[in-house]
Amino acid sequence: MTIQTPLPALAQERRVVTSIPGPKSQELLARRAAATSAGLGLTFPVVIERTQGAILQDVDGNSLIDFGSGIGVTNVGNSNDRVVQAVIDQAQMITHTCFTVAPYRGYIEVCEELNKLTPGTHAKKSLLVNSGAEAVENAVKIARYFTKRPAVVVFEHAYHGRTNLTMSLTAKNMPYKDGFGPFAGEVFRMPMPYPYRAISNPATLAQDSLEEITHRIEKEIGTHNVAAILIEPIQGEGGFIVPPKGFLPGLSEFATKHGIVFIADEVQSGFCRTGDWFAVNDENVIPDMVVTAKGIAGGLPLAGVTGRADIMDAVHISGLGGTYGGNPVACAAALAAIGFMKEEKLVDRAKHIGQILGDSLRALQAKYPVIGEVRGRGAMLAIELVKAGTKEPNTQAMQDVVKYCQSKGVLILTAGTYVNVIRFLPPLVMTDELLKDAIGVLEEAFASLK
Ligand code: PLZ
């Protein structure tokens, strides 16, 4: 059997040819409702047939602009040519052996890349697994083993996954935790400095937060009981909350002083998204461990834990593993995606996209007081919607904007503890024309708000 010839390119333009959802999507959505668990959410009620670059094409032939990258995954573009070719080539060679049974080259090479790309020049080692949640779980497992301590410190508004431990590490009850307990023990939640909603003086917010957190860790847990401090350097699902400058370096310094493993969850913020390889690069923070997933493999399921070699090597042989972790096809996709990010300088593309989008969002904010704040970094930007003249969350406006954009063929994602944030995670290969077209739709959406 030979591999099929490539499909013709999908034009990088928005084209809405039916009502949304169109008739074919409606039919499949009815089958979805009948066949799939009602517990699964649905952001955009269409069914996708094909993707390329920054376009998602649905089964009715509508070309939709992708402002979500599958929640920050397809940073190199949907169905990136290099990723697709690597997947085909690798699948012909090896589909699966299980790395801990009989190893293969791709796993080793992805770990070598992660060890080089993550911050710091110290000796590092990595472990590959299947999902962000699994990577976070493993990071905590390893930190506990290494320190021989039980407690894990996490933050308000945090999201770390949906497994039992990562649900416990996640802050928000609905929809992530409600009814799914009992939760894991030894998880301690600290306040997160949220500049837009902070009551204290913005100039001293970082210092004030650090003082409160370190005091509470010392008094309520005892530093000698803390295995890890786990934090998203820019919070994702929580609403793209960017901590004030100085906070992350201060926290990391405190961790180091007390032998606590400082873990950065870069699952959503990693791989060029923020205009750096990782969000912690911005303030030169060097975590003891970095958790990666999403953007790492251009759309294939893969995640990593990278950390100080002494920490990663502490665990006994066969203490870590999993059947599929670091699957060869996913590793080939990751190597192709990472190569593409380097060669196409996606770090710079993220900054460029962030400049255009950020300027447009700030102009919108000046015009529409419903936009309380524009925040984020690089191509990880968000707007928080409020009732005009207050900071009261405005979920209705968020829903109206999302709906308007969908009807015009633009996919946008929401977020936020208060369900009032619109976040933008465009593929980093989005053309300027397409970006401006999507921004135009967003402007219309705000103009249409009552
Ligand atoms: N850490 C920072 O953003 C996943 C969740 C989507 P998995 N975020 C998207 C949903 O509704 O389930 C995420 C994250 C951060 C960990 C995770 C978990 O990654 O690959 O979804 O397990």
- For helices 81-93 and 328-343, the axis angle rounded to 10 degrees is 150
How far, in Å, from the CA of 133 to the mean position of ligand 1? 7
Question: Which pLDDT does position 3 carry in this prediction?
Answer: 59
- pLDDT computed for residue 214 by the predictor: 98
CB 137 less than 6 A from any atom of ligand 1: no
Would you say the CB of residue 169 lies under 6 angstroms from ligand 1? no
Residues 394 and 281 in one domain: no
Q: Is there an atom of ligand 1 within 6 Å of 332 CB?
A: no
Other C-beta atoms lying within 10 Å of the C-beta of residue 33: 10
| C-alpha–C-alpha distance, residues 267 and 161, integer Å | 10
In whole angstroms, how far apart are CA 339 and each of 26, 46, 76, 251, 394? 39, 32, 10, 32, 41
Same domain flag for 236 and 180: yes
Residue 359 and residue 234 in one domain: no
Task: Tell me the C-alpha distance between 348 and 339, whole Å.
Answer: 15
Ligand 1 centre to CA of 164 (Å) is 13
Question: Each residue of 196-253: pLDDT tens digit?
Answer: 999 889 999 999 999 999 999 999 999 999 999 999 999 999 999 999 999 999 999 9
Question: pLDDT averaged over the chain?
Answer: 97
Mutate which of 37, 71, 138 to test ligand 1's pocket (most atoms within 8 Å of Cβ)?
71
- How many contiguous H segments (helices) and E segments (strands) does the chain have? 13, 15
Residue 24 is predicted with a pLDDT of 98
Edge-to-edge strand list for the sheet holding 48-52: 48-52, 55-58, 63-66, 410-411
Higher pLDDT pick, 425 / 202: 425
119 and 156 share a domain?
Answer: yes
Taking each helix axis as running N to C, give the angle between helix 395-407 and helix 432-448, from 0 to 180 degrees, rounded to the nearest 10: 130
Instruction: List all residues 6 or more positions away from 255 whose beta carbon is below 8 Å from its beta carbon.
Output: 229, 261, 262, 288
Residues 350 and 337 in one domain: no
Q: Are residues 182 and 308 in the same domain?
A: yes
Q: Are 158 and 306 within one domain?
A: yes
pLDDT tens-digit series, residues 79-129: 999 999 999 999 999 999 999 999 999 999 999 999 999 999 999 999 999
Q: How far is CA 162 from CA 135, 177, 181, 248, 355, in A?
A: 12, 8, 11, 25, 33
| 6 part of a folded domain | no
Question: Does 324 have pLDDT greater than 70?
Answer: yes
Q: Which two tokens stand for residue 116?
A: 């080089």
Asked if residue 4 is part of any domain, the answer here is no
Confidence of residue 355 (pLDDT cuts 50, 70, 90): very high
- Residue 105 in any domain: the answer is yes
Bridge partners of 304, per DSSP, are 128, 292
CATH number of domain containing 109? 3.40.640.10
Count: domains in the chain: 2
Pocket of ligand 1 contains residue 373 by CB under 6 Å:
no
Q: How many whole angstroms from 267 Cα to the centroid of ligand 1? A: 7
262-313 pLDDT, tens per residue?
999 999 999 999 999 999 999 999 999 999 999 999 999 999 999 999 999 9
Nearest CA to ligand 1 atom 6: 71
Q: Is residue 304 part of a domain?
A: yes
Q: Are residues 334 and 401 in the same domain?
A: no
Atom number, ligand 1, closest to the C-alpha of residue 161: 18
Ligand 1, atom 7, residue with closest C-alpha: 132
With cut-offs at 50, 70 and 90, classify the pLDDT of residue 151.
very high
**Measured between alpha carbons, how far is 422 from 364 in angstroms, rounded to an integer?**
13
One domain for residues 320 and 352: no
> What are the beta bridge partners of residue 64?
56
Check if 232 has its Cβ closer than 6 Å to any atom of ligand 1. yes
pTM for this prediction = 0.98
The CATH number for 362's domain is 3.90.1150.10
pLDDT above 90 covers a percentage of the chain that reads 98
The parent domain of residue 52 ranges over 23-66+346-447
For residue 206, the surrounding DSSP H or E stretch is helix 205-216
Q: Are 300 and 329 in contact (CB under 8 A)?
A: yes
Write out the H or E segment, with its range, that includes residue 187. Answer: strand 187-190
By most ligand atoms within 8 Å of CB, the mutation choice from 177, 268, 274, 296 for ligand 1 is 268
pLDDT for 4 equals: 65
Spatial distance between the Cα atoms of 407 and 13, rounded to a whole number of angstroms: 16
Residue 214 to residue 247: CA distance in whole angstroms: 12
Ligand 1 pocket residue status of 437, Cβ below 6 Å: no
Residue 258 lies in a domain: yes
Domain boundary among 297, 321, 343: 343
pLDDT at 2 over 70: no
Q: 138 lies in a domain?
A: yes
What is the per-residue pLDDT for 262? 99
Q: Is it the case that residue 333 has pLDDT exceeding 80? A: yes
**Does residue 414's CB lie within 6 angstroms of at least one atom of ligand 1?**
no
pLDDT of residue 322: 97
Report whether pLDDT(7) > 90.
no
Residue located via tokens 């670091």: 326
Kindly give the distance from the C-alpha atom of residue 329 to the centroid of ligand 1, in angstroms, as a whole number. 21
Q: Is residue 15 included in any domain, yes or no? A: no
Query: Is the CB of residue 265 below 6 angstroms from any atom belonging to ligand 1?
Result: yes
Which are the contacts of 3, defined by CB distance < 8 A and separation ≥ 6? Answer: 88, 92
Q: Is the CB of 328 under 6 A from ligand 1?
A: no
Q: What residue's CA is closest to ligand 1, atom 5? A: 161
Last residue of a domain, one of 343, 366, 384: 343
pLDDT tens digits for range 395-416: 999 999 999 999 999 999 999 9
Q: Can you tell me whether residue 95 is helix, strand or coil?
A: coil
Only one residue has tokens 């633009």, namely 410
Tens of pLDDT, residue by residue over 178-193, are 999 999 999 999 999 9
The last residue of one of the domains, among 325, 343, 361, is 343
263 & 369 share domain: no
Ligand 1 atom index nearest CA of 235: 2
162 C-alpha to center of ligand 1: Å? 8
Q: What is the 3-state secondary structure (H, E, C) of 380-431?
A: EEEEEEECCCCCCECHHHHHHHHHHHHHCCEECEEECCCCCEEEECCCCCCC
Residues 6+ away with beta carbon under 8 Å from 426:
54, 66, 67, 68, 69, 353, 357, 379, 435, 438
Q: Is 138 in the pocket of ligand 1 (CB under 6 A)?
A: no
316 and 177 belong to one structural domain: yes
Same domain, yes or no: 96 and 225: yes
Confirm or reject: Cβ of 293 under 6 Å from ligand 1.
yes
Stretch 37-49: mean pLDDT:
98
68 lines ligand 1 (CB under 6 A): no
17 located within any domain: no
